[in-house]
Amino acid sequence: MTKAVRNLCLVLGDQLSFDLASLDGLDSQHDAVLMVEVMEEASHVPHHPQKIALVFSAMRHFAQALQQRGIRVQYVALDDPQNTGSVPGELGRWQSLMQPQELHLTECGDWRLEQSLKDCGLPIQWHADSRFLCSRDEFAAWASGKKQLRMEFFYREMRRKSGLLLNGDGTPVGGAWNFDADNRKALPKGTKAPYPARFASDSITQEVLVLVRKHFSSHYGDLDTFDYPVTHTDAQALWDYFLDYGLAGFGDYQDAMASDEPFLFHARISAALNIGLLDLRQLCSDVEAAYWSGGIGLNAAEGFIRQLIGWREYVRGVYWLKMPDYAAGNAFGNSRPLPEFYWTGETQMNCMRQAIGQSLKHAYAHHIQRLMVTGNFALLAGIVPSQICEWYLAIYMDAFDWVELPNTLGMVMHADGGYLGSKPYCASGQYIKRMSDYCRDCAYKVTESTADNACPFNALYWHFLMRHGDLLRGNQRMAMLYKNLDRMPESKQNALWNRGQRLLAKLDAGESL
């Protein structure tokens, strides 16, 4: 017989924070926490096995930590024979067993899941997710009346709100809000990135790895390389390691890419942050302190803080403002399915092979690999936005719907017609050559555009501009690109178009490039 409770607090797999709003005021005598591992959430897209392992293991550790604090936790493992397989199903089952008077829920990170919980038949007390700096309402008020949103202006608001990197008079330290221009250096030859911090699996994680191997072996991605922190303590250790060894190089080389260097100077903390093992405000204040102590340059500190209180908060705001219609955006009318090689890495394009290969191996790639390699290719090749969105959501350890969808659909694919970003991030192979060493070992030649061995990014880039001139020529930020196109002799334009057509025909025939 299960003991009845007064309040039931459902804690989801990305809500593993001790200061979660819905846990506040929980009475250990009368209330209980419910945590459930369910097949629906683990497989509605084919999530990378490491991501499933991370979430389940971190949930089990968090449940144990709550119990050690005297909180009653009802935990449902994936292979519990009574498990109904979905969050609403489990909620219904435990409602019957525990007879709670009220359900406490912190806002979800996924519109689909939040909708499915609204009609659970119990009074729900919703709690705003205070782990973010900007609430949904505050963002909506900021966006109100604006036809187009721009992250840069939102970011300034968040700098003012947080007080980060501000002078006493409210002006930005260093005289500018954004030092991104200093963060685009290519990696000098021979640069050594710090050895990545790795975390051994304890008995809880090992049990989870067996479970994931048993149930999710059909999902793409390696499980054997799992080395990610699953507790608050280890996530803090990962962060401390970054502060000591990564942050100083992060600013200069955050856009750089190198063969067989999956992490470079990146913190790799995004998954831990997104599931609640790290605290946004603490991270920002640590980075600011590193700047004031003279340990890092302003470009590194500002760039990192902008990612957290600027871009991350901004995409969340857009997501909740625009869902559910946002997910259907397809401004370019793309109809080409996602090529199979996104799931296998089997392509002659070295940049794609490197970016996809490390994503399969570590469930991780950094923002430029995502935006300017795999994302850029999907944009240029005209891939159906929902399919590339599903790939990003599935393959990356840190991808949850609120953060993945605007980043992929809006920023990568420009499929929202420019609501989130002012121009598409399209680039030829020249950008990849400048920012990486990938072209050196590629079957294609980055210096060629129309030959059979020419870099596919080159012709596809011009093909993209030619086929979407109607939509993009009026965009001021694209004017220079179209000027360059118009200056080309017609014969060159035709050759680029024809090479683009041949490449797209290969994709349509199901061939790899």
C-beta separation of 5 from 26 below 8 A: no
The least CB distance from residue 190 to ligand SF4, in Å, is 20
The least CB distance from residue 184 to ligand SF4, in Å, is 17
Q: Indicate the Cα dihedral angle 481, 486, 492, 498, nearest 10°.
A: 70
The least CB distance from residue 298 to ligand SF4, in Å, is 32
What single DSSP character describes residue 421? S
The least CB distance from residue 303 to ligand SF4, in Å, is 25
Nearer to ligand SF4, 199 or 425 (CB): 425
**H-helix or E-strand spanning residue 127:** strand 124-127
CA distance 106 to 11: 8
Nearer to ligand SF4, 162 or 436 (CB): 436
The least CB distance from residue 339 to ligand SF4, in Å, is 14
CA distance 327 to 349: 29
CA distance 383 to 504: 10
The least CB distance from residue 429 to ligand SF4, in Å, is 3
Taking the mean position of all CA atoms in its chain, how far away is CA 388?
A: 13
The sign of the torsion formed by the CA atoms of 329, 334, 340, 346 equals: negative
Nearer to ligand SF4, 396 or 444 (CB): 444
Which whole-number Å values give the CA distances from 41 to 51, 394, 513, in the listed order?
A: 12, 11, 33
Residue with tokens 């992250």: 151
CA distance 3 to 39: 26
First vs last C-alpha separation in the chain: 60
Q: Assign 3-class secondary structure to 367-411.
A: HHHHHHHHHHHHHHHCECHHHHHHHHHHHCCCCCHHHHHHHHHHH
Nearer to ligand SF4, 87 or 513 (CB): 513
The least CB distance from residue 363 to ligand SF4, in Å, is 22
The DSSP-derived string for 442-470 is -SSBTT-SSSTTB-HHHHHHHHHHHHTHH
Nearer to ligand SF4, 380 or 446 (CB): 446
Nearer to ligand SF4, 351 or 397 (CB): 351
The least CB distance from residue 435 to ligand SF4, in Å, is 10
C-beta separation of 320 from 139 below 8 A: yes
The least CB distance from residue 347 to ligand SF4, in Å, is 8
Nearer to ligand SF4, 197 or 439 (CB): 439
The least CB distance from residue 342 to ligand SF4, in Å, is 15
Nearer to ligand SF4, 20 or 378 (CB): 378
**H-helix or E-strand spanning residue 20:** none
Nearer to ligand SF4, 231 or 354 (CB): 354
Nearer to ligand SF4, 49 or 456 (CB): 456
The least CB distance from residue 349 to ligand SF4, in Å, is 4
CA distance 140 to 146: 10
Please name which of 303, 299, 257, 274 lies closest in space to residue 433, comparing C-alpha atoms. Answer: 257
Nearer to ligand SF4, 319 or 444 (CB): 444
Edge-to-edge strand order for the sheet containing 73-76?
Answer: 73-76, 32-36, 7-10, 102-106, 124-127
Nearer to ligand SF4, 238 or 432 (CB): 432
The least CB distance from residue 259 to ligand SF4, in Å, is 10
Residues binding ligand SF4 (CB under 6 A): 349-351, 429, 432-433, 438-439, 442, 444, 446, 455-457
Nearer to ligand SF4, 36 or 446 (CB): 446
Q: Assign 3-class secondary structure to 324-365.
A: CHHHHCCCCCCCECCCCHHHHCCCCCHHHHHHHHHHHHHCCC
The least CB distance from residue 500 to ligand SF4, in Å, is 14
What contacts 139, CB < 8 A, 6 or more positions away? 154, 313, 316, 317, 318, 320, 321
CA distance 82 to 74: 13
